[in-house]
Amino acid sequence: MSLQKACAAADIPASGALRVVLEGVPVAVVRDSEGGLHAIGDTCTHADVSLAEGEVDDCSIECWLHGSRFDLRTGRPTSLPAIRPVPVYSLTLDGDDVLVDVTTTINAGDTAAKES
């Protein structure tokens, strides 16, 4: 496991997301409606846009462009048009530091080409 500092927990909005880039990998660090923290790939698998700009509701995030929703725990899409999951990364809280490991994913994620 190769954890690195992504941000401070205080930097993440209440029920919102913050985009960071770690080792060239765009990551959305997300605080869900219950205050839990998650790290997912920041690029929607349907369209090449940042998920961190989307709305967080309960334990999901909605892509602002076409409305796809992704479960923050699994990365799986819960609504169309996306059909491929986003990667979910290991996140650890060390004091106020949010540490993320982008070298391995918790799920399979999507490494294939974007949908047409």
pTM (predicted TM-score)? 0.90
- The predicted pLDDT at position 108 comes to 63
Tens-place pLDDT, residues 35-52: 999 999 999 999 999 999
- The predicted pLDDT at position 110 comes to 57
68 contacts 46 by C-beta, under 8 angstroms:
yes
How far apart are alpha carbons 8 and 97 in whole angstroms? 5
Tens-place pLDDT, residues 52-110: 999 999 999 999 999 999 999 999 999 999 999 999 999 999 999 999 999 989 886 65
